[in-house]
Structure 1
Amino acid sequence: MSTAQPRLVGIGDSVVDMFAERSTAYPGGNTLNVAVYWHLFADSPSDFIGVLGDDVYGDHVMATLGELGVGTTRVRRARGQTGRTLVDVAPDGDRVFVASNQGGIQADLSIRLAPADLELIRGASMVHTSVYSGMDHRLDALAQVAPVSYDFSDLPPIESVLPLMPHIQVAFLSAAQLSPEERRRYAQRCLQAGGTAVVMTAGAKGSVGFFDGKEHREGITHVDVVDALGAGDGFITGFLTAWVHSHDLTAAMQAGSRMGAMTCTLPGAFGHGVPASPADMAALKRRSAVGAT
């Protein structure tokens, strides 16, 4: 029996989250966060595949991934801006995304899967991507070399989700606005379309997962919150670290709750902040003022 550690590849979106009140930019983005958390909290190997700009923020993201030990051999660098978001903090301590450059160069130059990318992904325990990653048309190719995890973020119309489900082993969605029965109906349609497992998060209400005829509800794990940014990505990572070992829904949901809480003890998504340029933050604010977020 193989004793190799489970390996994850995150492919797609990455940003720097600029906190206005701190004038600090932190590396982040769903797929990048999951790759980092997999290595940082689960002490298992991970790689990130994405597109970073040739700006100072792209340099910082690359340096941080190298320092943390996340593989970057298939990261592309291109002329343009790394993805940027402007983040504010609400009175209740939650983060609010005020503006963005809409993914920067990563959104402009959608990743084209090369043989070297597929070779890196082949044999991984899981490949994770998201609705922000521009990989929907490549899910079939990814699913042929490794199990696919996909974060839909918010709850999209079911008609846009169903065609993707045959290629997705674990689908994550945010569904706080739905009733328990509405979540159940939505998840069942996803499973009937070919998905293996569906997990829905609901903020302070916890989460619910569906797999193999089973439904499991899990509450949140309470911690002293430093920053809620990345909590959902931490939940995804915790779920997957347990899932790849046994496909035990209850154990995976519990691990997701614990890791989601762990991420809340760090500033930004996982720390490693650098000064954010006032000019760059002002440019994002101007985008917000004209409705370009």
Structure 2
Amino acid sequence: MDSADTMRIIYGDGTLGLTGAHFHYQFSYETGSLESLQVDGKEWLYRPIYPTYWRATTDNDRGNGFSYRSAQWLGADQFPKVIDTDLEIDGKHIDQLPTAPYNNHHTNHETVREVAFTFSYQTATTPATQTIVKYTVTVDGQIKVQAYFAGRKGLPELPVFGLRLITPTVADGFAYDGLSGETYPDRMAGGISGHYEVQGTPLTPYLVPQEMGIHMQTKLLTTTRSTTLNNADKDEKPFYLSLLADEQPFNFILWPYTSEELENATHIEELPPLRRSVLVIAGAVRGVGGIDS
């Protein structure tokens, strides 16, 4: 059994696993991402985590032509491409990634204190630019995540920049420390800073599904679930995943659909049944605009 002050490192053929007393994480060289995040035996990822650049179109966007002008970002959102992977173990840069057959030089009984993965992505835009995402995992199971976007002249307006996490099952709700209600860069004046709890993942019933529900200037977010995809798991007690702001507050939205699913539906009844939850942690997001679109 792993103790609280050790972290075991597992060198797979195309993956690298990190296991502690209450967690197991798996990074993939092939997908270029964190693809498994288990805490106390509960999986939190349905898909690998990737940068996100697109937020669902609003009625104002349609009116002023924004979605047409910025359509490249929809493609970039759907088709991430990792172009470089950098690995550091206990502060030492690993020149040759330990994929097969190089992983044969290691055993499954090695321990480390800290591992840092840096993934570089190229956007499917013209001109192309890069996004860098760095994960630093420490022996206590905490993951520090840093994301960087390199703007480039000639690119269209960016709808959003952040990371998207899709959970295997629907979230029961969430609690956060930040501004009250739905807030956007151009809809923040009425937000009151405090601690708030929300049941479920509310969806505003617009006739035509569209962007909604961002919470700005958040310092702490805790998401709650009580179900898994493991049919043998009969434990119905709620379990939690917490995200804490580091250098600056973050913005987030937790809802049942991806932006692409909202774009595909022309009426709310066309949205698929609730199966999962989508969490977007955004460093920046476009506002919703005015009434003069």
TM-score (norm 2): 0.32
Q: Hey, which of these two has a bigger chunk of helix by percent?
A: 1
Instruction: Give the TM-score normalised by structure 1.
Output: 0.32
For the pair shown, the structure with the greater C-alpha radius of gyration is 2
